[in-house]
């Protein structure tokens, strides 16, 4: 532990600045790919909509293009969802707007108010139909609402939505599960960073780093959850593991690492320097072994399990650290009860970390290779 802190103290501000700058530049690589992909899909959808709708005639070109643009999502799954919801909403809204315009008659404002209120009430119950209020308003505002005009606008919305969805599937497609995989990998890298922080001290700077890392993990976790929610086609990792189970596994692993970190950092004030010197190598070994195990888990998420680094015996490393902490706690049980309590907290953190690493490894394993308890078999 002391060696790590000493090495960090010797790092110059220029070196730290260069490291942060490289990390910032690397973080821009992914958004650049996303921007290029969305640009290509948008251009293709707009061109296809213009050529098809203008060539066929009979449909409102403006609304077709607008609908195509609004359908392009960050993944093909999301574009499909947008297209289905917009099509259903457009059909419902056109029906409501046309029916009320014919039944109520008179100034358009009356039919407009009733149509949008009714459409939004339906959208409150089924949020996916919220586009219906837009279509209902468009149809109800027609001076002389006719079935042909309503069909023209509805058909344009449906056509644009379908073309936008097709563009997402054909032009550089990004599946929802692939985006979810990236989110899960980000959270796993955060777990590795937490392991790096353990045993590095409790200075103000280290507290700030922990707080920043915790906020980053929560942000990555929210992103991963939202991407899992948008995945409609084969919502599983390459190993067949369920996406939601994988996210929950990473979340519980993070909680275990936080417990270990708190036990090591906040309880060290009650542990003598001599006991720390004896315990530090064992805890550092757990730290290194756990990081290598997360490397293996990352490889499993990517679907490269066969080429992943061999799994060192995490259990034996944790067992040695646990035995060392238990011996120290027994020695201090009588003369220094505060140290014994602190060491038992460390033991609990070690046990939780080991258990959660085992659990997420079982979750991510190929289904046929999982133990019975990981597959729900009793």
Give the Å distances, CA to CA, from 192 to 197, 237, 274, 287: 9, 21, 28, 9
DSSP 3-state assignment of 166?
helix
Rama region for 126: left / alpha / beta (φ>0; ψ in -120 to 50; rest): beta
Q: Which ranges constitute the DSSP H helices of 231-272?
A: 243-266
- Record the pTM: 0.76
Which residues pair with residue 236 across a beta bridge? 242
Q: Which pLDDT band holds residue 258 (cuts at 50, 70, 90)?
A: very high
Select the more confidently predicted residue: 374 or 140.
Answer: 140
Q: pLDDT by residue (tens digit) across 179-219?
A: 999 999 999 999 999 998 886 644 445 778 888 999 999 99
The number of beta carbons lying within 10 Å of the beta carbon of residue 166 is 20
Q: Which pLDDT band holds residue 306 (cuts at 50, 70, 90)?
A: very low
- If you write DSSP's letter for every residue of 1-51 in order, what string do you get? -HHHHHHHHTS-HHHHHHHHHHHHHHHTHHHHHHHHHHHHHHHHHHHHHHH
Mean pLDDT on 335-355: 88
Query: Residue 121, Cα to own-chain centre: how many angstroms?
Result: 31
Which of 256, 289, 261 lies closest to 359, judged by CA? 256
Give the Å distances, CA to CA, from 144 to 98, 106, 169, 292: 10, 10, 39, 71
Tell me phi and psi for residue 293, to 5 degrees. Answer: -65, -40
Q: pLDDT by residue (tens digit) across 41-94?
A: 999 999 999 999 988 887 889 989 999 999 998 899 999 999 999 899 989 988
Q: Which pLDDT band holds residue 10 (cuts at 50, 70, 90)?
A: very low
């Amino acid at each position: 532990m002391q060696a790590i802190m000493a090495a960090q103290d010797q790092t110059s501000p220029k070196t730290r600045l260069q490291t942060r700058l490289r990390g910032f530049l690397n973080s821009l690589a992914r958004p650049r790919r996303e921007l290029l992909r969305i640009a290509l899909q948008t251009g293709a959808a707009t061109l296809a909509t213009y050529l098809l709708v203008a060539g066929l005639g009979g449909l409102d070109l403006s609304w077709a293009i607008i609908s195509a643009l609004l359908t392009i999502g960050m993944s093909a799954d999301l574009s499909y969802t947008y297209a289905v919801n917009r099509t259903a909403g457009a059909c419902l809204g056109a029906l409501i707007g046309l029916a009320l315009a014919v039944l109520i008659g008179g100034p358009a404002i009356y039919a407009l108010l009733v149509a949008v209120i009714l459409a939004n009430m339906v959208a409150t119950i089924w949020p996916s139909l919220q586009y219906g209020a837009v279509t209902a308003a468009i149809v109800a505002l027609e001076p002389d609402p006719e079935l042909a005009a309503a069909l023209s606008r509805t058909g344009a919305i449906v056509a644009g939505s379908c073309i936008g969805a097709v563009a997402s599937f054909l032009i550089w497609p990004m599946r929802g599960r692939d985006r979810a995989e990236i989110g899960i990998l980000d959270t796993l890298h955060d777990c590795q960073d937490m392991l790096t922080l353990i045993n590095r001290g409790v200075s103000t700077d280290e507290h700030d780093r922990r707080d920043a890392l915790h906020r980053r993990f929560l942000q990555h976790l929210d992103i991963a959850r939202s991407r899992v929610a948008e995945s409609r086609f084969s919502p599983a990792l390459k190993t067949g593991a369920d996406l939601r189970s994988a996210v929950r596994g990473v979340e519980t692993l993070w909680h275990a690492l936080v417990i270990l970190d708190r036990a090591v950092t906040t309880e060290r004030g009650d542990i003598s320097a001599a006991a720390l010197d004896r315990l530090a190598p064992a805890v550092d070994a757990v730290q290194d072994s756990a990081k290598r195990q997360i490397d293996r888990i990352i490889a499993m998420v990517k679907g490269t399990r066969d080429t992943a680094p061999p799994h060192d015996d995490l259990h034996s490393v944790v067992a040695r650290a646990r035995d060392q902490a238990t011996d120290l706690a027994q020695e201090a049980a009588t003369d220094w009860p505060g140290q014994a309590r602190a060491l038992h907290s460390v033991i609990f953190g070690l046990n939780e970390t080991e258990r959660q690493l085992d659990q997420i490894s079982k979750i991510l394993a190929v289904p046929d290779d999982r133990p019975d308890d990981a597959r729900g078999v009793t």
